[in-house]
């Protein structure tokens, strides 16, 4: 069927009922991609992964809802782009069956909910420390949307690594019957991670913002670690993506990884316009606590910074204690 727009649970239920498994013996599997709109190629990659997961007979729904619960005081709720017509086009081309774009009244019929989900200590670190209450609001709306869409599987980008880890923990701890699938970060040709906030960057700010991805890749790749300045680093398109590696890391420890990334970010503080670092952290992917220098196994190298008025995040996963 062609792409349909639903704005209520009743509308979405009708659409799902039309899509039955072959023979009509069981409902088709539903895959949900939960977004706040302003869709870009990164979201399209999630939709394509969802379609591949449930197959041609499955039902793929993209939600578009700017969730007020996850915006703090002074954050960009009113500024956040609303581009529903363009979102419908992106979702349809990527293979979605429906876009669910409910109003705030549909999601929160009694106003701000009295009962919400709490992210706990893991949600108070890094992004949670910078944005108090953000992850409580995120988990609350994700929980509601997983129920509203009746999802069998839901797809999230690994760019928001802490969000993905918390959603997985919520599903596990609260016994949600949903499979959570992470999809690799999609990057622009220059290495900048795709984000709806990239549109706010001026050309000069965008050039400075490249320090985020270049710091991550420099920390990962031993043969770029001695380059002195972000503008001297090789273009990120010449570097392998986060699933591969160039150069042998060998037994280099967590402190060396952090130092390599920080050198690039420190240099970018002197750029015009400058980069203002929020945090750089090398953390355990299970609970997002900092890993010690002797850590072996997977670790997430995460960074958040502001360029001008725009706040950006990025991360890659490294395996420490073994050649990359």
Active site residues: 43
- Strands (E) across the chain are located at 4-6, 30-35, 59-64, 98-100, 153-157, 179-183, 275-283, 297-307, 310-320
Q: Are 275 and 208 in contact (CB under 8 A)?
A: yes
Of 66, 67, 63, 31, nearest to 50 by C-alpha is: 31
**Helix (H) or strand (E) run with residue 88 in it:** helix 84-94
Number of H helices, E strands in the chain: 9, 9
CA atoms within 13 A on the CB side of 290: 12
The Cα–Cα gap between 156 and 138 comes to: 13
């Amino acid at each position: 069927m062609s792409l349909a727009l639903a704005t209520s649970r009743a509308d979405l239920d009708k659409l799902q009922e039309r899509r039955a498994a072959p023979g009509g013996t069981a409902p088709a599997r539903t895959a949900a991609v939960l977004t706040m709109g302003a869709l870009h190629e990164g979201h399209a990659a999630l939709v394509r992964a969802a379609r591949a997961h449930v197959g041609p007979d499955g039902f793929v729904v993209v939600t578009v809802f700017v969730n007020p619960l996850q915006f703090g005081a002074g954050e960009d709720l009113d500024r956040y782009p609303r581009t529903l017509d363009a979102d419908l086009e992106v979702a349809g081309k990527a293979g979605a069956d429906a876009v669910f774009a409910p109003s705030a009244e549909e999601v929160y019929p009694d106003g701000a909910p009295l009962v919400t989900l709490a992210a706990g200590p893991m949600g108070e670190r890094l992004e949670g420390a910078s944005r108090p209450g953000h992850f409580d609001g995120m988990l609350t709306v994700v929980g509601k949307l997983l129920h509203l869409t009746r999802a069998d599987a839901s797809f999230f980008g690994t760019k928001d690594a802490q969000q993905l880890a918390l959603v997985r923990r919520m599903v596990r701890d609260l016994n949600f019957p949903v499979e959570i699938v992470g999809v690799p970060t999609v990057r622009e040709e220059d290495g900048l991670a795709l984000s709806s906030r990239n549109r706010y960057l001026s050309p000069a700010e965008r050039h400075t913002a490249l320090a985020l991805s270049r710091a991550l890749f420099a920390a990962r790749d031993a043969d770029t670690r001695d380059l002195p300045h972000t503008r001297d680093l090789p273009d990120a398109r010449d570097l392998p993506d986060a699933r591969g590696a160039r150069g042998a890391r060998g037994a280099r420890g967590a402190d060396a990884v952090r130092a390599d990334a920080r050198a690039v970010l420190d240099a970018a503080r002197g750029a015009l316009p400058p980069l203002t670092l929020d945090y750089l952290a090398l953390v355990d992917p299970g609970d997002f606590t900092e890993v010690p220098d002797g850590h072996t196994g997977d670790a997430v190298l995460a960074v958040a910074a502001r360029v001008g008025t725009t706040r950006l995040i990025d991360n890659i996963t490294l395996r420490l204690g073994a050649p990359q």
